[in-house]
Amino acid sequence: APPCPLPVQICVSKCPDRYLTYMTAHGNAASLEYYRNFCTPEFKDWRKAPLEVLKDRECPAMLIPSTPLARRCFPAIQAKKGVIMVGNETTYDDGQGHRRNVTELLEGAKKANVVLETRQLAMKIFEDYTVSWYWIIIGLVIAMVASLIFIVLLRFLAGIMVWVMIVMVILVLGYGIFHCYMEYAKLKGEAGSDVSLADLGFQTDLRVYLHLRQTWLAFLIILCVLELVIVLLLIFLRKRILIAIALIKEASRAVGHVMSSLLFPLCTFFLLCLCIAYWASTAVFLSTSNEAVYKVFNESACPFSGQTCKPETFNTSNVTKLCPDAQCLFAFYGGETAYHKYLVVLQFFNVFMFFWLANFVIALGQVTLAGAFASYYWAFKKPDDMPAFPLFSAFGRALRYHTGSLAFGSLVLAIVQVIRVILEYLDHRLKAAENKFAKFLLSCLKCCFWCLEKFIKFLNRNAYIMIAIYGTNFCTSARNAFFLLMRNIIRVAVLDKVTDFLFFLGKLLIVGSVGILAFFFFTQRIKLVQDTAPPLNYYWVPILTVIVGSYLIAHGFFSVYGMCVDTLFLCFLEDLERNDGSAEKPYFMSQNLRKLLKKTNKGQPDA
C-alpha cells in the first residue's frame, strides 16, 4: 500500500490573524476572498462543494491566529494571568456551530511551543551576550596572558613541578600502604574477618569486602608492588627524567625566541574554517539538489498506486479515468536519475575531501612550526645564528618544497578516517540487526582503525618534523623518524608522560582559575566590582563561554609548545647520533644538555 499522503504546504505572504473555517467562509464573499490567500495556487473553482475542496486538500479546513517563526506559521499561543489564549480569544468556532476551548489546540501545538520556547531562550542568551561580551573578551585575554606566563615559567619551574608530582605520588602510595596495614591489623581477631574472598563469593554490596582481612592484605600487596616499581623506575630513569625536564626548559627558551609561533594557530584556525565552509556548502548543495517527487495516492484498488506522477498533467492523464479517486500528491524529495542514485557516494567523497584538506592544513601548521624551532636548535650560537624571521621562512619552505609530502601524508590519514566514517555508518544501519557476529566483527574493525588512526597521526607528526629538518620526502622521513624513536623508546615514553603531566596541569590551572574568577564576577560575589557586573538572565552563559574559550586558548598555546618539545627532542636525538663533539662534528645542543650528558665540544669547554 502507498504511504499516507502528506498535508499540502503552501507559501503565504502573511500568517492568518483570525479564526475562520472554510465552511463558514464559503457563504460569505468577503471571508472567502480572505480565505483564498491560504489555498493552493491551482485552486480556481470557488463554486466547488466545500466537502470536495477539503477532500482534495485544496484549502485548509480552519485558520487559526498565527505568528511567523523560521518561515513557518505557528499558533499565536500566549498566557495572560494564567489563562491560555490564542489570538486574544479563549474559545473558537469549530465550523459546526460549537464553541471549543483553545486548550484543545495545545496538544497539536506542543512542538510549536517547543520552538517558541527555544526562540525565547535564544533571545535571552543573545541579550546576555550583548551586555557581557566585553567582559568575556577580558576573561579570554586573561587566559591568554596566563597561558603565556605559564609557558615562560616552565623555563624555571618545570623541574620543581615534575619532582613535586613524583614525591606526592610516592607519599600518597606510602600513606595507602600504612592505611591498609592499619586496617589489616585492626581486623585481627574480629568475627568473620578471616573468611576468604573465594568462600565469600560475589556480593553486590561492595562494603562487605572491607570487613575482610584478605581484602586489605590484597590492597597492601598491590600498593607495595606499585611503590617498589615507581622507586625502581626513579632509580633507573632518573637521568632520562632530567633530560626530559631540560628539553622542556629548552623548549620554553625556543618559544621565547620565536614568539610569533604563539599566534600561528590563528592562521591554521582560519584555514580550517575555510575547509569547513567548503565542506558545509558542498554538503548543503548536494542535499538540496533533490527534486520534488509526486506519487499516485488512492483509497481504492488502482494499478497506478505508488507510481510517480506530474501534478501539471495528472488531471488529463489516463490515471484519473481508470482511478477517479486517485490523487497526485507530494511524496518526498529525491530523484530517480543516475545523479540522484549516487548522491550518497558524492556525500562520502565530499567528507573525504574535507578530511584531506583539514589534515593538509594541520600538516602545514606542524611542518611550519617544526621548521621554525629546528632553526633554533641547529643554530650553533643561539639565537645569533637564527634566521631573521624563522616562522615565515619555514612557512615559505613548506609551501615551496614540501607540498607534495604534506598532501601524501594527509591523504593516508584521510583514507583511514573515511573508512572509520563508513564503519560508523554501517554500525548505525545494523543497529536493528540481530546478527551478533556482524556486530562483533564491526566493533573489532572500529577498534583496529581507531588504533591505526592514532598511530598514523603520531607517525605523520614526527615525519613532518624530519621533513622540516632535512627536506626529505614523506616516506623517507616517516621511516627515519620511526626507527630513530624506536632506538630511544624509553626516552620517548618518559618525555611523553612528563610533558602530558605539565600540559594537563597547565590547562587545569588556567581554565580552573579563569573559570572561578568568571563565576565570582558574573554572580556578583566580588564586592569590589559588584556593581560593575552586568545584569544577566542566565549567568552560566558568559561563564561557560569564558571556560570553553580559555580551554581553546590554552590548548592552542600548548599545542605550539608541544610541537616545540617534539621538534627539539628529535633534533636532540639526531644530534647525539650524528655528532661526536669534535671540531668537524660539534654538538648543537644547549650547554645545560651537554652538562647533563657529560658531553663537550672539543676546543669549547663548558663553563
Q: Residue 518 has what pLDDT?
A: 87
Burial class (CB in 10 A: 0-12, 13-18, 19+), 309: buried
pLDDT at position 508, please? 85
Question: Are 65 and 75 a contacting pair, CB within 8 Å?
Answer: yes
φ/ψ of 549, rounded to 5, equals: -65, -40
Q: How much is the pLDDT for 463? A: 95
Cell of 164: 613535586
The whole-number pLDDT of residue 539 equals: 81
Q: Is the pLDDT of residue 105 over 50?
A: yes
Q: Model-level pTM greater than 0.85?
A: no
The distance of Cα 124 from the centroid of its chain, to the nearest Å, equals 25
- Residue 73, SS3 per DSSP: strand
Asked if residues 420 and 449 have their Cβ atoms less than 8 Å apart, the reply is yes
Q: Do the beta carbons of residue 405 and residue 436 sit within 8 Å?
A: no
Q: What is the mean pLDDT of residues 543-551?
A: 90
Structure confidence at residue 85 (pLDDT): 67
Phi, psi of 311 (to 5 degrees): -60, -30
Residue 138 vs residues 1, 203, 428, 522, 523: alpha-carbon distances, Å: 63, 54, 44, 13, 16
Identify the band that residue 60 occupies on the pLDDT scale cut at 50, 70 and 90: confident
Does residue 312 surpass a pLDDT of 80? no
Q: What is the pLDDT of residues 230-287, one digit of tens each?
A: 889 888 888 888 888 888 888 888 888 888 888 888 899 999 999 999 999 998 888 7
Residue 398 to residue 464: CA distance in whole angstroms: 10
**Residue 431, CB half-sphere, CA atoms under 13 Å: how many?**
4
Whether 562 contacts 503, CB under 8 Å: yes
Q: How many CB atoms lie within 10 A of CB 604?
A: 13
Domain boundaries, the chain: 20-104, 126-281+360-597, 291-334
Q: Strand, helix or coil at 320? A: helix
pLDDT at 335: 66
Q: What pLDDT was estimated at residue 5?
A: 41
CB 327 within 8 A of CB 297: yes
Span 363-407, pLDDT tens digits: 999 999 999 999 999 988 887 888 888 999 999 999 999 999 999
Provide the pLDDT confidence category of residue 476 given band limits of 50, 70 and 90: very high
- What would the pLDDT profile of 222-232 be if each residue is shown by its tens digit? 999 998 998 89
Q: How many angstroms separate the first and last alpha carbons of the chain?
A: 92
Cβ density class 252-287: b for 16+ within 10 Å, e for less = bbbbebbeebbebbeebeebbeebeeebeebeeebe
User: Strand pairing of 327-334 and 291-297?
Assistant: antiparallel
Cα–Cα distance, 511 to 554 (Å, whole number): 8
Per-residue pLDDT at 462 exceeds 70: yes
Nearest one of 37, 38, 36 to 48, comparing CA atoms: 36
Res. 334 pLDDT band, cuts 50 70 90: low
Say what percent of the chain tops pLDDT 90. Answer: 22
